[in-house]
C-alpha cells in the first residue's frame, strides 16, 4: 500500500472518530502523544500506545474508558487493543477510586521484606489512615498494592512515589518524603 493511500484512508477514518477524540484528550495529552507518534512509521501508530496511556495517567491519575476510547480513536486502533494494554501493565490504574495525585508503591518482595518492608507498609497505612489499595479522601495519595519486585534490592527497603525511587528507607525518611509532597 502506498503512503498516499494510507494517508487518505486515515484522514477519512479520522473524520468521524477523531473529532470526538480530539475534544476528549487535553491539549497536553495530544502534544505528548504527537511527539511520540513522530518517532514511529506512519502505519505503526500502535507503537505510541504505551506513551499515550502514560500521558493520560499523568493528567488523570487513572485511565477512564472514555479516555481509553479517545486514545484508540486518536491512534486508529480498535478500543479493545487499548484495553488489553491498559489492563496488562500494573503501572496503569483503571479504577477511578485509584486516582490519587501521588501513587505510593512499597516493594514487599523478598529483599525488602527481609529488610522490614512490612513495618514501612504499616506505618504508611496508619499515617494516611488508609489500607493498601485505597486512596486518601482528599485524593492526595493512592497506596498501591505492589505485587512485583521493583528491582532495587541493593537499596532495600524501598518505595516508589510517582516516578521516583526512594531507597534504604526508615520510618523517619518515609515521613519526610510524604510530608514534602504537595
Partner 1 sequence: MSEKLITIEINATKLEVKPDAMLIEAADDAGIHIPRFCYHKKLTIAANCRMCLVEVENAPKPLPACATPVNEGMKVWTKSKYALSAQQDNMEFLLINHPLDCPICDQGGECELQDLAVSARGSSSRFHEVKRVVTDKDIGPLVSTDMTRCIQCTRCIRFGEEIAGMREMGATGRGDRMEVGTFVEKSLISELSGNIIDICPVGALTAKPSRYKARPWDVVQTASIASHDSVGSNINLHTYKNELVRVVAGDNDAINECWISDRDRFSYQGVTAKDRLTKPMIKKDGIWKEIDWAGALDSIAELIKAIDADQIGALVSPRATVEEQYLLQKALRGVGVNNIDHRLRQCDFYDQELAPLAPNLGVSIADLEQQNAVLLVGSNIRQEQPMLNHRLRKAALKGAHIMTVNLREYDFNYDIAEQLTGNVTQMLEKLAGIALASGKLPEALDDLVDGIKPNDTEKKIAKYLTEAENALVLTGNIAVSHPQYSALRALSSVIAENTGAKLGSLVESANTVGGWLSGAIPHRQAAGIDTAKVGKNITEMLNADLKLFVLLDVEPEFDCANPKQAMSAMHQAECVVAMTPYASESLKAYTDILLPISTVAETSGTFINTEGRWQSFTGASQLAGDARPAWKVLRVLGNVLEVEGFEFVSSTEVRDELQAKISSATDKGNADLMPIYQKQATDTGLQRVSEVSIYCTDSLVRRATALHKSIENEAAIRININDAEVLGLSNNAKITIKQDEASTKATLIIDNMIPQGCVFIPEGTEVSACLSASFGTIEISAA
- State which of residues 3, 4, 5, 182 lies at the interface with partner 1 (CB under 8 A): 5
Contact window for partner 1 (CB under 8 A) among 5-13, 27-35, 104-112, 159-167? 5-13
Q: If binding is defined by CB under 8 A, does position 23 make contact with partner 1?
A: no
Q: How far is the CB of 87 from partner 1 (least distance, A)?
A: 4
d(CA 78, CA 84): 10
Contact window for partner 1 (CB under 8 A) among 7-15, 28-36, 103-111, 166-174? 7-15
d(CA 26, CA 29): 5
Q: Which is nearer to partner 1, 128 or 150 (CB)?
A: 150
Q: How far is the CB of 86 from partner 1 (least distance, A)?
A: 8
Print the binding letters for residues 82-121 with partner 1: x by CB under 8 A, - otherwise. -xx--xx---------------------------------
CA atoms within 13 A of residue 82's CA, in its CB half-sphere: 26
Site for partner 1 in 63-82 (CB under 8 A): 65, 78-81
Query: Residues in contact with partner 1, total (CB under 8 A)?
Result: 15
Q: Which is nearer to partner 1, 94 or 114 (CB)?
A: 94
In the complex, the residues that contact partner 1 under the rule CB under 8 A are 1, 5, 9, 12, 15-16, 65, 78-81, 83-84, 87-88
Amino acid at each position: 500500500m502506498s503512503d498516499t493511500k494510507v494517508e487518505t484512508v486515515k484522514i477519512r477514518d479520522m473524520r468521524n472518530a477523531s473529532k470526538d477524540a480530539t475534544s476528549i484528550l487535553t491539549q497536553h495529552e495530544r502534544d505528548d502523544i504527537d511527539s511520540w507518534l513522530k518517532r514511529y512509521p506512519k502505519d505503526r501508530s500502535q507503537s505510541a500506545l504505551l506513551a499515550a496511556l502514560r500521558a493520560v495517567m499523568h493528567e488523570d491519575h487513572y485511565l477512564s474508558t472514555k479516555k481509553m476510547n479517545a486514545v484508540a480513536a486518536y491512534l486508529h486502533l480498535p478500543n479493545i487493543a487499548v484495553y488489553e494494554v491498559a489492563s496488562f501493565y500494573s503501572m496503569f490504574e483503571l479504577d477511578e477510586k485509584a486516582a490519587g495525585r501521588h501513587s505510593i508503591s512499597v516493594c514487599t518482595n523478598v529483599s525488602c521484606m527481609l529488610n522490614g518492608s512490612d513495618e514501612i507498609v504499616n506505618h504508611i497505612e496508619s499515617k494516611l489512615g488508609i489500607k493498601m489499595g485505597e486512596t486518601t479522601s482528599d485524593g492526595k495519595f493512592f497506596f498501591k498494592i505492589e505485587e512485583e519486585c521493583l528491582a532495587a534490592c541493593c537499596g532495600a527497603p524501598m518505595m516508589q512515589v510517582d516516578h521516583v525511587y526512594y531507597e534504604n528507607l526508615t520510618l523517619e525518611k518515609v515521613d519526610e518524603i510524604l510530608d514534602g509532597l504537595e
